[in-house]
Amino acid sequence: MKLKHFFPLLAGISLGASVSAASVENDMPYLTLSDGSRIPQLGCGVWELNGQEAYKSVTESIKLGYRLIDTAQYYRNESETYQAVLDSGIPREEFYITTKLNPSNGSSEKNIRDSLDRSLKNLGGKIDLVLIHWPFSNDEMAWRIMEEYVQEGKFKSIGLSNYSPEALRRILKIAKIKPVLNQVELHPYNSKYPTVAEYEKEGVKVEAWSPLGAGRQGLLRDPVIADIAKAHGKSSAQVILRWDLQRGIITIPRSKNPAHIKENISIMDFQLNDEEMKQIDALNRDDALWDI
C-alpha cells in the first residue's frame, strides 16, 4: 500500500435508489454484518481531531442522532471520544464504537496485547468493532489475538482497514473469525466498484473513510454533483453521503464544525434516482490517496 499524495494517514455495487439491505430506526439505516451484528450506516469520524476537538465533535454528533463513532489508536483521542459517550447519558448499548489497532504497536505479541488492552481501558472495557488499521508484517498474529478477544467477549466484531482484495484473502485464509468489514478510501472520484464487489463476494461490508474526498480534488465543487444537489435542495456533501448509503456503503464523515455535522446527518429525507446514481458513478477517476 502506497500513499499517492502527501496526506496524513486516515483512518459496493449500486443498490439504486433505495437501500434494501438496511432496516431503519429513527430514520437511521442499519446494516447487518456477517456475524449478525447491526451497525448504523452513517457515523461520526474523529480523525485528525485532538482530544478536546474529538470530545466536542462527538458530543454534538450524539445530540443530532449519530450512534456510530469511529476512532483509532493512531488518532490518540479514544479516551475523549468515549468520555463524550458517557457524558451523553444515553445507554452505552445504543452506540456502536469502532477503534483500530495501530500497526506501530504490532512489533510483538506483547505489544499487540498491551495496545489492545489500552484501547479497552480507554473505551470502557468492551468495544463493538476493532480493525487492523492497515496491513503490516505481523497482522496475521494480530488477527489471531483479536480473535481471542472476541471469544473472551471483549470485542463484539473484528475487521480490517485499507486492505486490498489480495490482503483480505490472506487474512481470510488464516481466520477462524471472519472480518466483518473493510474500511477503505471511497468517494465519487475513487468509487472502487470492482474491489467493493470482491469484498462483498467474501461477505465483507465496506466502510468509507474520506467519503467527501477530504475537501481535495474539487470534489465538493464538481458541477455534476452540484447540479444534482441543486435539484434536491441539498448540498454537494449531502448528495455524496446519500450516494454512499444507496450503494450500501457505511460512511463516516469527519467534522468539528457543528453546522457540517448537522448537514451530514440530514440526508434521510431524500433519495437519488437511478439516473443520478449513474451520473455520480461516472465521475470515477480511480484517484486515491492510498494505492491498495
Catalytic positions = 75
Residues in CB range of 194: below 8 A, 6 or more apart: none
What is the distance between the alpha carbons of residues 70 and 46, in angstroms, rounded to a whole number?
A: 6
Residues in CB range of 165: below 8 A, 6 or more apart: 195, 198, 199
187 is in an annotated binding site: no
Of the candidates 74, 101, 94, 116, the one whose C-alpha atom is nearest the C-alpha of residue 159 is 101
Q: Which grid cell sits at 272?
A: 437519488
The radius of gyration of the chain from alpha carbons, rounded to an integer in Å, stands at: 18
Known binding-site positions: 133
Known binding-site positions for substrate: 133
